[in-house]
Amino acid sequence: MNINDENIGKLFQQKLKDAEVQPDAAVWSAIKQQSGISSGLSVLAKAALFLLGTAIVASSYFLWKGSDSDNQISTEMNAVNNQSLVAIESTSNEQEVVEKNQLDSSVEITVYDNQRDIKKINNTSTQNVIIADVDDSDHLNQETNEAPKTISNTNSVIVNTQKPIPTEVVFQPQLVSFDDEDVESIETNREDVESTEVLTVNSDTAKIRFSDNPTICFGEDAILEAIGGEVYEWSNGSNTSKIRVSPVEESTYWVIVYDRYGNEKKHSFNVIVDKECTSIFIPSAFTPNGDGINDNFKAEGLGILSFEMVVFSREGSIMFESNNIEMSWDGTYRGELVKSVAYMYQVVYTDAKGNTHSKKGFVTLIR
Amino acid sequence: MISENDLVKGCQRGKAKSQRLLYELYAPKMLGVCMRYFHTKDEAQDALHDGFVKIYSKIKDFRGEGSFEGWIRRIMVNTSLNLYRHNLKRMYHADVDDERVQIADSSMSFDQFNVQDIMKLIQGLPDGYRIIFNMYEIDGYAHKEIAEALQISVNTSKSQLLKARKHLRQGLEELNKERNKI
């Protein structure tokens, strides 16, 4: 399977969720001591004792008949060897039901669920899914001893509804697999699962729309928008439906949109910067501290035929004046650095078509 | 055969045998959980120790709601987080790298990496990335829960996750390159 930023979490989860690392023996001694657990024979030793016990039982059964503790050891050893406990057993029942229905071939997948979840699926179901109300009381019985949370999770894992269906993907029931990893993920309580890519039943991702790729003039902002999702993750870290970007050269931004089922859809925006058109960018602040970054106040423009800029203090004195767009103000007035406040500027320029524009604004000197 | 239920009841009554069995059953898996949250096995074993001590003292309160393993896991994760909590503040100052979209190396197959490789990569992540990636991707916490546990904003959690994923993918790509060289 190929790896990208979207599936990497899932891949890591599959490998690591049940990774086991043998702790050092000292850890148990420390725990035992701190929790006040009385020491006894190790389980292994008890197992050996039990085997010995059984051997003796064979020869002299009556002598050992009353030994309750040995029987108990045997059951506990079974538990060690067979770690698949209640939850897994019940899930395998469900697995059988699904497989049987696949054989019928008239049903692509059977979704059984508690009443509430069936409704949910019905509302948004796609034509690929036939929902059968299977009497699931048997295999849910064991689960109902657990928290209700577990039940709903079980159901959602079995159908794996939580993955987006890209509309063009054909539903392939033969790829349905219920392996151990699926069973294990029952126990996760996540609201926004990224589940396997194969099984997809139900999704709102078709409703997710994206704005077109914008072309902007140099220095302008572009607005990128995705609608129809619940959660947005933009490449710039934003989480809003809409972002405003101002690239200075052609750039790509992407967004991952999650619908309310946790299905995701990724989209890339390519923002083209047209450097031919006339535009002007005037920063709103500068920092004349000599660190080489934004030390000077300077307008950036393209396709400008003529240019004039004047910077005033609040009192109205002219701090800086220039008729060349390449000239910049270093934040000094008569050789001395001026106060760290906002200054007003006025820029008059002529664009490539010969039209004259005027722009006024404030620039803040930050130290 | 002893059921999970009996095992829990045994521990609740303070039976040493059940307590030991519980440890034998879950310790390796839980150390696997803790390992992901720390750089080294020693630190992870400290968390495992604290976690089990907490489990034995809290098991009286376990009401059988939800899966028992899930309950244990949560305690392990919380214990691991507690060990980090004192320096939570500084852990989000990990380098803020660029946001350019990088094209993933599509020739790389995930199957070639084993659990040790993956574990090492995770352990090598900066603290903030590692904790959020673990909580979200592997232990199944929602961003909201993570934000509450770490006292950060949901958006921080999300953006850290994105960066962590990128970090890990790049780590895999480097590993892949190294192997192909040999």
pLDDT single digits (tens) B106-146: 566 777 788 888 898 898 888 888 999 999 999 889 999 99
List the single residue in B20, B137, B141 with the smallest CB-CB distance to A12. B137
Sign for the pseudo-dihedral over CA of B139, B143, B148, B153? positive
Which residue in the set B48, B100, B101 is minimally distant from A27, CB to CB?
B48
The residue of chain A with its CA nearest to that of B54 is: A35
Burial of A223 (0-12, 13-18, 19+ CB in 10 A): exposed
B138: contact with A, CB 8 A cutoff? yes
At A260-291, the pLDDT tens digits run: 777 788 889 988 887 666 678 888 899 888 88
Nearest to A305 by CA among A232, A355, A235: A355
| Res. B38: pLDDT tops 60 | yes
Smallest Cα distance from B101 to chain A, Å: 7
For residue B83, what pLDDT is reported?
Answer: 82
For strands A356-365 and A342-350, give the pairing: antiparallel
Q: Is B167 helix (H, G, I), strand (E, B) or coil?
A: helix
- What are φ and ψ of residue A208, in 5° steps? -80, 130
Q: Is B41 on the interface with A (CB under 8 A)?
A: yes
Q: How far is B32 from chain A (nearest CA, A)?
A: 5
Contact A209, A267 (CB under 8 A): no
Q: In this predicted model, what pLDDT tens digit does every residue of A60-100 receive, in sequence order?
A: 555 555 444 444 444 444 444 444 333 333 333 444 444 44
Range with lowest mean pLDDT among A152-156, A272-276, A348-352? A152-156
Of B19, B100, B110, the CB nearest to A3: B110
Question: Which residue of A16, A29, A213 to mutate against B (max B Cβ within 10 Å)?
Answer: A16
Cβ–Cβ contact B168 with A under 8 A: yes
How far off is chain A from B160, nearest CA to CA, in Å?
9
pLDDT higher than 70, residue B147: yes
End-to-end CA distance of chain A: 52
Q: Which residue has the tokens 């390796």?
A: B28
Strands, E, within B82-152: which ranges?
none
Query: Would you call A12 and B119 a contact, using CB atoms and an 8 Å cutoff?
Result: no
Interface predicted TM-score (ipTM): 0.79
Residue A213: pLDDT band with limits 50, 70, 90 = confident
Burial pattern B109-146, b for ≥16 Cβ within 10 A else e, equals: ebeebeeeebbebbbebbbbbbbbbbbbbbbbbbbebb
The answer to whether the Cβ–Cβ distance between B166 and A5 falls below 8 Å is yes
Q: Compare CB distances from B109 to A1, A22, A75 and report the shortest one's residue.
A: A1
Q: How many whole angstroms separate alpha carbon B13 and alpha carbon B1?
A: 19
Task: Identify from B12, B48, B67 which residue to disrupt to test chain A contact, counting A C-beta atoms within 10 A and taking the largest count.
Answer: B67
* Sign of the dihedral through C-alpha B94, B95, B96, B102: negative
Which CATH class name applies to B4-87?
A: mainly alpha
Query: If you average pLDDT over residues A240-259, what whole number do you get?
Result: 85
Which of A10, A42, A79 has its CB closest to that of B1? A79
CB contact under 8 A, A192 and B154: no
Report yes or no: A3 and A11 within 8 Å, Cβ to Cβ.
yes
Q: What pLDDT sits at residue A8?
A: 84
Instruction: Determine the distance in angstroms separating the CA of A333 from the nearest CA of chain B, rounded to an integer.
Output: 37
Phi and psi, residue A279, nearest 5°: -155, 160
CB distance B45–A76 less than 8 Å? Answer: no
Of the candidates A9, A31, A75, the beta carbon closest to that of B23 is on A31
Q: Which of B7, B17, B41, B132 to mutate to test the interface with A (most CBs of A within 10 A)?
A: B17
Q: Helices in A23-85 by DSSP H: which ranges?
A: 25-35, 43-59, 61-64, 68-81
**What SS3 state is found at B152?**
coil
Could B49 and A27 be called an inter-chain contact, meaning their C-beta atoms sit closer than 8 Å?
yes
A49 interface with B at CB cutoff 8 Å: no
Of B3, B56, B172, the CB nearest to A3: B172
Select the residue from A6, A7, A18, A31 to test the B interface by mutation, using most B Cβ atoms within 10 A.
A31
**Residue ranges of the domains in chain B?**
4-87, 110-181
Contact between chains at A16 and B7 (C-beta distance less than 8 A):
no
Mean pLDDT of chain A: 66
| Candidates A21, A187, A235; nearest CB to B28 | A21
Scan residues 269-298 of A and list those with Cβ closer than 8 Å to B.
Answer: none
Residue B31 has pLDDT above 90, yes or no: yes
pLDDT of residue A116 exceeding 90: no
Cβ B31–A22 below 8 Å, yes or no? yes
Confidence of residue A55 (pLDDT cuts 50, 70, 90): low
pLDDT at A122: 41
Q: In B, which residues are within 8 Å of A146 by CB distance? A: 64-67
What residue in A sits closest to B162 (Cα-Cα)?
A5
Residues in chain B with CB shorter than 8 Å from the CB of A235 are: 99, 101, 162
Query: A51 — phi, psi (to 5°)?
Result: -60, -45
**How many CA atoms lie within 13 Å of B178's alpha carbon, on the beta-carbon side?**
9
For B147, other C-beta atoms within 10 Å of its C-beta total 18
Which residues in chain A have Cβ-Cβ distances shorter than 8 Å to B13?
A: none
Predicted local confidence at residue A201, as pLDDT = 47
Size of interface A-B (CB pairs under 8 A): 192
| Distances from the Cα of B178 to the Cα of A287, B49, B171, angstroms | 44, 37, 11
Q: What is the CATH number that goes with domain B110-181? A: 1.10.10.10
Q: Both tokens of residue A181?
A: 């990893």
In this predicted structure, what is the pLDDT of residue B23?
Answer: 92
